[in-house]
Structure 1
Amino acid sequence: MSSVRSVLALGSNLGASNDTLVLAVADLVEPENVRLHAVSPVVRTRPVGGPEQPDYLNMVIEVETSLGPYELLAHCQAVEDKHHRKRTVRWGPRTLDVDIITYGSWTSDDDVLTVPHPRAASRAFVLQPWAWMDAGAELEGRPVAELAAEAADISGLMPFEGV
């Protein structure tokens, strides 16, 4: 199978979030059929939706993979599980969240996997790190940087300098 570039968004707001993101990137690219292509800066963001909860650390990576989209989803979920992800409250706090934002030019709108991610085009915590990682990136025909500037949550986004 040929390789496909995929954009993944990672977020964490429970535990040692920065360490979790670093380890999760390593876990995501551990198998030889997933190679890291680019990494965004980490940002601190206010939660969007869901219950009252701590701020998130978010980032975006681009990988090149020979996994199919559903295999990549299973791999992402296995990495979430490795980092003790619990799915109890929708949009609730989590140790790790990994979303497939794009998978090459492939699209899907089913109950298991929707690609492009259905809310990515309106979320600055995905768009701005992505635009910093790849200034020429587009999502559904629009520049990612332009979409980031229009996102309602852009004012709640701050660069994360680490601890």
Structure 2
Amino acid sequence: MIERVYVGLGSNLADPAEQLREAIKAMSLLPQSSLSGVSSFYVSDSLLPGQPRYTNAVAALDTSLPPLTLLDALQGIENDQGRKRLERWGPRTLDLDILLFGDRLIDEPRLKVPHYQMQVRAFVLYPLAELAPGIILADGRALNDLLAQCPFEGLERLPS
């Protein structure tokens, strides 16, 4: 069964926009998967002071891979692009997060879907809205309601 998955992309090291472009290419080559869309790129401040600004986007991927298999593949892409997992909120060359996985609610030790903090992250919600305006999340929350509670402040949409 093919399911639509939304993946959040982020980088704040080593030419972040290029990191995202390389990750998108790598995602387009995943087995049993097809890249069906990518949002604009957005720049935002880091959640922690003193770190470089992040470049973020959201990609839509149609896949028949099981959730944890896809997670492993995405982490492989992160590793290939120099991701070091030294600290939870540290700077990174690449971060790929599964935001939504079809209509599934997933609560595994390694994977929570819908992504557990997406509702407070403008750099996730606004790019997601470009790809899936009006979507209702598997937990019943409407993206439009989340957007109404999460201002665009601090985001800069980059030209295409």
TM-score over 0.5 for the alignment?
yes
1:58–1:125 Cα contact (<8 Å) kept: yes
Structure 2 matches for 1:57-96, cutoff 5 A? 57-96=55-94
User: TM-score with structure 1 length normalisation?
Assistant: 0.91
Runs of 4+ that moved beyond 6 A: none
1:104 matched to which residue of 2?
102
Task: Work out whether 1:159 is the aligned partner of 2:153.
Answer: no
1:17-56 correspondence runs (5 A): 17-48=16-47, 50=48, 52-56=50-54
Question: What stretches of structure 1 of length at least 5 have no aligned partner?
Answer: none
Contact 1:33–1:65 (CA<8 Å) still a contact in 2? Answer: yes
- Once residues 146 and 131 of structure 1 are traced to their aligned partners in structure 2, the CA distance between those partners, rounded to angstroms, is 11
Q: Structure 2 CA distance, aligned partners of 1:66 and 1:43? A: 29
Aligned length: 159
What does the per-residue CA deviation read over 1:55-90, in whole Å, with 9 as the maximum and x for residues that have no partner? Answer: 100000110001000000000000000110011121
Q: Considering only aligned residues, what root-mean-square deviation do their CA atoms show, in Å?
A: 1.5
Percent identity over the alignment is 37
TM-score relative to the length of structure 2: 0.92
Aligned 8 A contact 1:108 1:115 in 2: yes
Shift of 1:51: 5.1
